[in-house]
């Protein structure tokens, strides 16, 4: 039985919650490969979430070059297609900035951090990542959705 990208993402998050980085890395590597080799329009956001989380775990496991190989094109693509204020774009730039910082590439890190600080996506800051997003009344209906960083809760009914 093939597991969906959402199921793989949830499994990786469970591993991370238990500080099992190597197990999360294995799941994310498989999910990242599946998302790239069999892309579907329905899974675009999930695939981007997987790539960002994969980059974060690569950073945590000190695989910085591989993290850059994944995060640089991802951040550029998200910036172009989804805009500067999109939570995935902001998260990709934040993680990429941290990787650059770890490598001592401070000018590049500063550029990424500036992207984050000027993104106008403060409701999706890392500290509030798992809170439910409450859009402003002026936000377009298309932006009023569950935060992509909030794990799916299959035990809860409703939104």
Is the CB of residue 90 less than 8 Å from the CB of residue 119?
A: yes
Domain 5-120 homologous superfamily, CATH: Tetratricopeptide repeat domain (1.25.40.10)
Which pLDDT score is estimated for 156?
38
Q: What is the dihedral of CA 59, 56, 94, 13, to 10 degrees?
A: -160
What tens digit of pLDDT does each residue of 9-25 get?
999 999 999 999 999 99
**How is the chain split into domains, by residue range?**
5-120
Percent of the chain at pLDDT > 90 equals 64
Is the CB of residue 58 less than 8 Å from the CB of residue 22?
A: no
Q: What global pTM score does this model have?
A: 0.73
Judged by average pLDDT, the poorest of 42-46, 110-114, 146-150 is 146-150
CB atoms inside a 10 Å sphere around CB 83: 13
Which pLDDT score is estimated for 121?
60
What tens digit of pLDDT does each residue of 59-68 get?
999 999 999 9
DSSP H helix total and E strand total for the chain: 6, 0
């Amino acid at each position: 039985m093939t597991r969906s990208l959402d199921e793989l993402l949830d499994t990786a998050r469970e591993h991370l919650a238990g500080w099992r980085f190597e197990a999360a890395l294995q799941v994310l590597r498989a999910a990242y490969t599946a998302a790239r080799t069999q892309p579907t329009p329905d899974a675009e956001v999930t695939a981007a979430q997987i790539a960002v989380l994969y980059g974060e775990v690569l950073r945590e496991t000190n695989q910085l070059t591989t993290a850059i190989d994944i995060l640089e094109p991802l951040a550029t693509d998200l910036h172009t297609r989804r805009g500067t204020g999109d939570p995935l774009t902001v998260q990709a730039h934040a993680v990429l900035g941290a990787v650059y910082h770890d490598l001592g590439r401070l000018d590049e890190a500063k550029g990424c951090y500036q992207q984050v600080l000027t993104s106008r996506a403060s409701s999706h800051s890392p500290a509030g990542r798992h809170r439910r997003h409450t859009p402003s009344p002026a936000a377009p209906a298309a932006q009023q959705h569950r935060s992509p960083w909030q794990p799916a809760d299959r035990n809860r009914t409703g939104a």
